[in-house]
Every structure is written in structure tokens, then in C-alpha cells.
């Protein structure tokens, strides 16, 4: 991982949580998290990501296991911070921005409105809200289009069964404004 991530807030997509937990006993994601730590990133998730990760728990024990995993993963360098402070809330501004981003995606490519989930739109809105301070880590590299975001790095994990490419995305204000202008002009 590059220095672009140094001292940033690293927003984790649900797929990172799912796959890292799935491979926890194999250590495939260990290098990724160690590198993030070396770069002094602070791990965060969005409330929608937390929901998406926790939902589908088959039993209370399964849910508790996922909650414990999140607490361990999101443990802050600042011991006084609670887990709830590492989960970004969904405000009216975030919902409004998510809706707008969804419309911009559709304007640019109508297939994106079907492909990109509401959770990904909410995550994108968080990136928009926190600007240059935040970077997203995701395995769904098609869900954060380069006509609004910059891909600043890629980290590859080889599980011996598959190759996982984690993309790192940052909101680009200039690209966003260009898409917004095109949306307003569209008929």
C-alpha cells in the first residue's frame, strides 16, 4: 500500500469484513491489516456496512461472533474510543448525497443503477462527506466508478484458491462536479 493512505481514515466495505472473517484462520488478510497499521490508518465502517455484515446471522452465537470480530477489527489506537465511534452514522446529508450519487451514476451509465447497491451509494456518500481524509478499501472494484472516484492503490491477496484485489478509492471533487454539471444538462 502506498503513502496515499498514510494517516487516513480507511473505510472498509462489507466484502472486506466478510472475506477477512472468512479467511481469519488462514491469515490471508493479515498483511493487509498490518500494512494499514504501519501507515497509521484508522479503520472505520459505515452503519449500512455494519448492518449488511451482521444481517443473516443464523443464531445469536453467530451474531455475537460477528460483533466480536468487528470490535476486534475496529479497535481504536485510542483505547478510550468505543466501537460505536468507529461506525459512521447515516445522517440526512449522507442519505441526500447517496441519492444524488446514484442519479449521477445512472446518468453516466444506466446499468449502474441496477449494479450498485444502496449500501455502496451510502459508502460513496461517506467518502464524499469526509473528502481527502478518507479512503475506501473494497473488493467490489466496479461499484466505485472512476468517473467520480480515484483509485489510489491496489493490494493483492493470493488465497491459493483465488486472487483478491483490494482497491482503494478516494472521492474526487473535480470529477463529481463534472458529473453533476452533465446531469443538470441532460434531457
Give the per-residue pLDDT at 75. Answer: 78
Give the per-residue pLDDT at 143. Answer: 92
Pairing, β 87-88 against β 149-158: unpaired
Give the per-residue pLDDT at 96. Answer: 97
Question: Ramachandran region of residue 39, left (φ > 0), alpha (ψ -120 to 50) or beta?
Answer: alpha
Give the per-residue pLDDT at 141. Answer: 92
Measured in degrees and rounded to the nearest 5, phi and psi for residue 152 equal -100, -15
Give the per-residue pLDDT at 111. Answer: 77
Give the per-residue pLDDT at 108. Answer: 85
Give the per-residue pLDDT at 9. Answer: 93
CA-CA distances (angstroms) from residue 89 to 15, 85, 137? Answer: 19, 9, 18
State the alpha helices, DSSP H only, in 74-150.
92-108, 112-115, 118-130
Give the per-residue pLDDT at 27. Answer: 86
- Half-sphere exposure (Cβ direction) of 49: Cα atoms closer than 13 Å: 29
pTM: 0.91
Number of domains in the chain: 1
Q: What is the pLDDT along the chain (187 residues), one digit of tens a residue?
A: 577 888 999 999 999 999 999 998 888 999 999 999 999 999 999 999 999 999 989 999 999 999 999 988 887 555 555 666 789 999 999 999 999 999 999 888 877 767 788 999 999 999 999 989 999 999 999 999 999 999 999 999 999 999 999 999 999 999 999 999 999 998 7
Give the per-residue pLDDT at 45. Answer: 95
Give the per-residue pLDDT at 116. Answer: 84
CATH number (domain holding residue 14)? 3.40.50.1010
* Structural domain span for residue 102: 3-185
Amino acid at each position: 500500500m502506498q503513502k496515499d493512505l498514510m494517516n487516513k481514515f480507511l473505510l472498509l466495505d462489507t466484502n472486506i469484513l466478510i472475506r477477512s472473517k472468512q479467511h481469519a484462520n488462514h491469515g490471508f488478510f493479515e498483511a493487509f491489516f498490518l500494512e494499514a497499521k504501519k501507515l497509521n490508518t484508522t479503520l472505520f465502517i459505515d452503519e449500512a456496512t455494519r448492518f449488511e455484515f451482521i444481517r443473516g446471522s443464523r443464531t445469536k452465537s453467530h451474531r455475537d461472533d460477528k460483533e466480536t470480530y468487528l470490535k476486534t477489527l475496529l479497535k481504536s489506537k485510542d483505547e478510550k474510543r468505543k466501537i460505536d465511534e468507529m461506525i459512521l452514522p447515516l445522517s440526512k446529508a449522507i442519505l441526500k448525497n447517496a441519492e444524488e450519487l446514484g442519479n449521477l451514476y445512472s446518468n453516466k451509465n444506466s446499468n449502474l443503477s441496477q449494479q450498485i447497491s444502496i449500501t455502496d451509494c451510502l459508502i460513496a456518500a461517506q467518502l464524499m462527506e469526509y473528502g481527502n481524509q478518507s479512503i475506501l478499501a473494497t473488493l467490489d472494484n466496479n461499484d466505485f466508478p472512476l468517473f467520480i472516484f480515484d483509485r489510489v492503490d491496489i493490494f493483492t491477496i493470493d488465497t491459493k484458491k483465488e486472487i483478491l484485489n483490494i482497491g482503494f478509492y478516494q472521492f474526487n471533487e473535480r470529477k463529481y462536479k463534472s458529473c453533476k454539471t452533465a446531469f443538470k444538462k441532460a434531457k
